[in-house]
Amino acid sequence: MTMKLKNYINGQWVETKNPEYIEVINPADGQPLWSVPSGSKKDILIAAEAAHKAWPEWRNTPAVKRISYLFKMKQILEDHTEEIAEICTKESGKTFAESKAEMVRALENIEVACGIPNLLQSDFSEDIATGVDEFSIRQPLGVGACIAPFNFPIMIPFWFMPYAIACGNTYIVKPSEKVPATMQRIFELFKDINLPAGVLNMVHGGKDTVDAILEHPFIPAISFVGSTNVARYIYQTGVSFGKRIQAQGGAKNPVVVMPDADIDTTVRIIADSAFGCAGQRCLAASIVFTVGDAGKLFTSKIVEAARVKKTGNGMNKETEMGPVISKESKERIEKLIQNGINEGARLLLDGRTINVQGGENGYFIGPTILGNVESESEIFKTEVFGPVLCIMNADTLEDAISLINKSRYGNSACIFTHSGAAARKFRHDVMAGNIGVNIGIAAPMAFFPFSGWKESFFGDLHGQTSHAVEFYTQTKVVIERWHEEWIRKF
Q: Is 277 a catalytic residue?
A: no
Is the CB of residue 25 less than 8 Å from the CB of residue 33?
A: yes
Helix then strand then coil, % of the chain, to nearest 5: 40, 25, 35
* Smallest separation (angstroms) from ligand NAD to the CB of 461: 14
Span from 246-254, 257-265, 342-350, 363-371 in contact with ligand NAD (CB under 6 A) = 246-254
Q: Which long-range contacts (CB under 8 A, 24 or more apart) does 184-191 make?
A: 184/5, 184/6, 184/8, 185/80, 185/83, 185/84, 185/87, 186/77, 186/84, 186/154, 187/8, 189/76, 189/77, 189/80, 189/84, 190/73, 190/76
| CA dist., res. 202 & res. 209, Å (int) | 11
* Smallest separation (angstroms) from ligand NAD to the CB of 149: 3
Q: Which of 115, 206, 292, 444 binds ligand NAD (CB under 6 A)?
A: 206
* Smallest separation (angstroms) from ligand NAD to the CB of 183: 11
**Residue in the shown chain whose Cβ atom is closest to ligand NAD:** 226
| Residue in 88, 114, 277, 282 annotated catalytic | 282
Q: Which of 250, 359, 371, 440 binds ligand NAD (CB under 6 A)?
A: 250
Residues 364-403, interacting with ligand NAD (CB under 6 A): 383, 385
H-assigned helices in 343-405: 378-381, 397-404
Span from 227-235, 271-279, 335-343, 481-489 in contact with ligand NAD (CB under 6 A) = 227-235
99 interacts with ligand NAD by CB under 6 A? no
207 interacts with ligand NAD by CB under 6 A? yes
DSSP secondary structure letters along 95-147: -HHHHHHHHHHHHHHHHHHTTHHHHT---EEEEEETTEEEEEEEEE-SEEEEE
168 interacts with ligand NAD by CB under 6 A? no
Q: What is the largest CA-CA distance in the chain?
A: 88
DSSP code at position 480: E
| CA dist., res. 219 & res. 141, Å (int) | 9
Which amino acid is present at 379? Answer: I
227 interacts with ligand NAD by CB under 6 A? yes
* Smallest separation (angstroms) from ligand NAD to the CB of 110: 19
Q: 140 vs 153, which CB is nearer to ligand NAD?
A: 153
Residues 454-483, interacting with ligand NAD (CB under 6 A): 456
Span from 90-98, 244-252, 314-322, 390-398 in contact with ligand NAD (CB under 6 A) = 244-252
Is the CB of residue 175 less than 8 Å from the CB of residue 127?
A: no
294 interacts with ligand NAD by CB under 6 A? no
From residue 19, alpha-carbon distances to 22, 40, 43, 205 in Å are 10, 9, 12, 12
- How far does Cα 444 stand from its chain's mean position? 11
Q: Which of 362, 436, 452, 459 binds ligand NAD (CB under 6 A)?
A: 452
Residues 321-360, interacting with ligand NAD (CB under 6 A): none
| CA dist., res. 397 & res. 262, Å (int) | 17
Which amino acid is present at 332? Answer: R
For the chain, give the number of residues. Answer: 490
Is the CB of residue 28 less than 8 Å from the CB of residue 314?
A: yes
Q: 227 vs 372, which CB is nearer to ligand NAD?
A: 227
* Smallest separation (angstroms) from ligand NAD to the CB of 411: 5
411 interacts with ligand NAD by CB under 6 A? yes
Closest CA to 250 of 226, 224, 221: 226
| CA dist., res. 412 & res. 282, Å (int) | 9
Q: 166 vs 230, which CB is nearer to ligand NAD?
A: 230
Span from 5-13, 115-123, 421-429, 450-458 in contact with ligand NAD (CB under 6 A) = 450-458
Q: Which of 8, 21, 58, 150 binds ligand NAD (CB under 6 A)?
A: 150
Q: 74 vs 105, which CB is nearer to ligand NAD?
A: 105
Q: 259 vs 436, which CB is nearer to ligand NAD?
A: 436
Q: Which positions lie near ligand NAD, rule CB under 6 A?
A: 147-152, 174, 176-177, 206-207, 210, 225-227, 230, 233, 248-251, 282, 383, 385, 411, 450, 452, 456
Please identify every residue annotated as catalytic.
282
